[in-house]
């Protein structure tokens, strides 16, 4: 979104979605309620993910969208993505502090300076809460975990696909380097096939995370050079700048080191994940096939098991 024209493309689609009642604006850029139709598409695509991943016999875990600040600090996220974080603050004062806070309630949000950091952060990626729970030695053959949660990224935008809070569904592999690498590559192919099967024009591209600042440039270059991250991109608002709807990540042994996760033979575990951005996939499907589900192509409705 580098110019006025492209801003218009994004806000035009957002306005259409809102007018159709698919998204319900909540007064902050990138924060929406979702309609029943929107959720139906999310659910049906999720069933597809479940069916395609069943062969792995994954452990299913569901974590809330908040996790421990201490665990957050160990992930390294603060160093790399300070502009995206969401910290949870609460009020811990006495009655007098409360009176002071209420006295500063008018005007420029002065009251928020009376808040203090709680023990929790908002989750920035669905797999982050898993790693601190996996400390110790993995079983032979490692683990495969099915995850889903809302994740937070502080990046208000007119682009309806750039939400500040949205759901990721993930399959995470913890194990040896070979096991993690194979997981990433298998799911890159499977994810691409799944998105093609629902009629989306998908491409796999080598990608980097949005590392912050000047130091981040080196991190981005290294990530691309080592081909650690792929994104599956599809056109939503723009065909020239397709949107990432899924990412396939190989983390090397970053989380194994950070959280003391060891393979059965005592090495720091490697990890990899595929994450499906459920809102973005839904927005891509609505853009491609229209807002009336009953008019979607029959093959697509069949793949999604829509009655
Ligand atoms: Zn992940």
pTM, full prediction:
0.95
CA dist., res. 89 & res. 119, Å (int): 9
* Ligand 1 center from residue 172 Cα (angstroms): 7
* Ligand 1 center from residue 92 Cα (angstroms): 33
What pLDDT score does 4 carry? 58
What pLDDT score does 2 carry? 46
- In terms of phi and psi (left: phi > 0; alpha: psi -120 to 50; beta: otherwise), the region of 245 is alpha
pLDDT (tens place) for every residue of the chain, 307 residues total: 445 566 799 999 999 999 999 999 999 999 999 999 999 999 999 999 999 999 999 999 999 999 999 999 999 999 999 999 999 999 999 999 999 999 888 767 789 999 999 999 999 999 999 999 999 999 999 999 999 999 999 999 999 999 999 999 999 999 999 999 999 999 999 999 999 999 999 999 998 888 888 888 888 888 888 888 999 999 999 999 999 999 999 999 999 999 999 999 999 999 999 999 999 999 999 999 999 999 999 999 999 999 8
* Ligand 1 center from residue 201 Cα (angstroms): 23
Give me the residue spans of the domains in the chain: 4-68+75-86+124-303, 88-120
Contacts for 232 with CB less than 8 Å, ≥ 6 apart = 188, 191, 192, 195, 202, 203, 204, 244, 245, 246, 247, 248
* Ligand 1 center from residue 130 Cα (angstroms): 9
Alpha carbon of residue 38 to chain centroid:
18
CA dist., res. 253 & res. 261, Å (int): 9
Can you tell me which residue has the tokens 């949870």? 88
4-68+75-86+124-303: CATH homologous superfamily?
A: Bira Bifunctional Protein; Domain 2 (3.30.930.10)
Can you tell me which residue has the tokens 């006295």? 103
In 3D, which of 13, 51, 55, 56 has the Cα closest to residue 32?
A: 13
Task: State the CB neighbour count (10 A cutoff) for residue 104.
Answer: 14
- Looking at the DSSP assignment, which residues form a beta bridge with residue 121? 67, 87
């Amino acid at each position: 979104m580098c110019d006025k024209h492209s801003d218009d493309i994004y806000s035009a689609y957002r306005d259409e979605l809102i007018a159709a009642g698919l998204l319900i604006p909540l007064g902050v850029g990138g924060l929406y309620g979702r309609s029943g139709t929107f959720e139906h598409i999310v659910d049906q695509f999720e069933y597809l993910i479940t069916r395609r991943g069943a062969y792995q016999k994954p452990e299913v875990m569901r974590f809330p969208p908040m996790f421990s600040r201490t665990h957050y600090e160990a992930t390294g996220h603060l160093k790399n993505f300070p502009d995206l974080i969401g910290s949870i603050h609460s009020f811990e004062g006495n009655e007098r502090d409360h009176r002071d806070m209420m006295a500063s309630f008018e005007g420029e949000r002065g009251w928020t300076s009376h808040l203090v950091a709680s023990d929790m952060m908002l989750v920035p990626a669905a797999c982050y809460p898993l790693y601190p729970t996996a400390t110790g030695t993995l079983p032979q053959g490692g683990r495969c975990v099915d995850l889903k949660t809302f994740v937070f990224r502080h990046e208000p935008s007119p682009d309806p696909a750039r939400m500040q809070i949205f759901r990721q569904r993930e399959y995470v592999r913890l194990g040896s380097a070979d096991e993690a690498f194979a997981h990433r590559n298998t799911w890159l192919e499977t994810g691409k096939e799944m998105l093609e099967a629902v009629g989306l024009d998908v491409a796999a591209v080598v990608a980097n995370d949005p590392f912050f600042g000047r130091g981040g440039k080196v991190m981005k270059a290294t990530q691309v050079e080592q081909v650690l991250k792929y994104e599956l991109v599809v056109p939503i608002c723009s065909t020239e700048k397709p949107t990432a709807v899924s990412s396939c990540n190989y983390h090397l042994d970053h989380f194994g080191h950070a959280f003391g996760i060891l393979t059965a033979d005592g090495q720091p575990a490697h990890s990899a994940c595929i994450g499906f951005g459920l809102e973005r996939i839904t927005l891509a499907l609505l853009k491609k096939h229209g807002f009336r589900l009953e008019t979607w192509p029959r093959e697509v409705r069949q793949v999604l098991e829509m009655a």
